[in-house]
Amino acid sequence: MSDCIFCKIANGEIPSATLYEDEKFRVILDLGPASKGHALILPKAHYADIYEIEEDAAASAMVLAKKMASAMTKALGCSGFNIVQNNGTSAGQTVFHFHVHLIPRYDNDQVRLGWTPGKLTDEMRDEIITEVKKQL
């Protein structure tokens, strides 16, 4: 993807604040951090989102998220950690190259993630289970 900024960053064509790099991934600091240490896992191969990424790459991204969360928690002294991965405009995705947000959390920080809990009705539960099972 010649016009994808995260392809260029992941592959080193554009410089970035890199915390980690291997054959398949680069981990960079987010330029608009939600909290101190907010970082992004970028695969070097281009996948737009969770629907496109290969299963092996998705699995490796989660293993790397665990490794980074452990290292960053020790390094930064955060008291919690969010792993966030957005897909589609409605879900807040703004860069259409798969990435995983690593968001260190601190007591009384200013990070706002969340939703207002609804109510799972019996009818909705049954419909969702039936429809999802058809697709698996």
Catalytic residues: 99
Beta carbon nearer to Zn ion, 6 or 81: 6
Q: How far is the CB of 66 from ligand AMP (least distance, A)?
A: 19
For position 1 contacting Zn ion by CB under 5 A, the verdict is yes
For position 97 contacting Zn ion by CB under 5 A, the verdict is yes
What are the CA-CA distances from residue 33 to residues 3, 91, 128, 134 (Å)?
Answer: 24, 18, 35, 39
Interface residues toward ligand AMP, by CB under 6 A:
5, 28, 30-32, 40, 86, 92-95
Q: How far is the CB of 100 from Zn ion (least distance, A)?
A: 14
Beta carbon nearer to Zn ion, 64 or 69: 64
Picked from Zn ion, ligand AMP, none, the partner binding residue 26 (CB below 5 to 8 A depending on kind) is none
- DSSP for residue 130: H
Measure the CA–CA gap between 27 and 7, rounded to whole angstroms.
Answer: 12
Query: In 23-32, which positions are buried (b, 16+ CB within 10 angstroms) versus exposed (e)?
Result: eebbbbebee
Q: How far is the CB of 15 from ligand AMP (least distance, A)?
A: 10
Residue of 132, 52, 36 whose CA lies nearest to 98? 52
Residue of 16, 87, 101, 93 whose CA lies nearest to 52? 87
Residue closest to Zn ion (Cβ) = 4
Residues at the site binding Zn ion, with contacts judged by CB under 5 A: 1, 4, 6-7, 46, 97
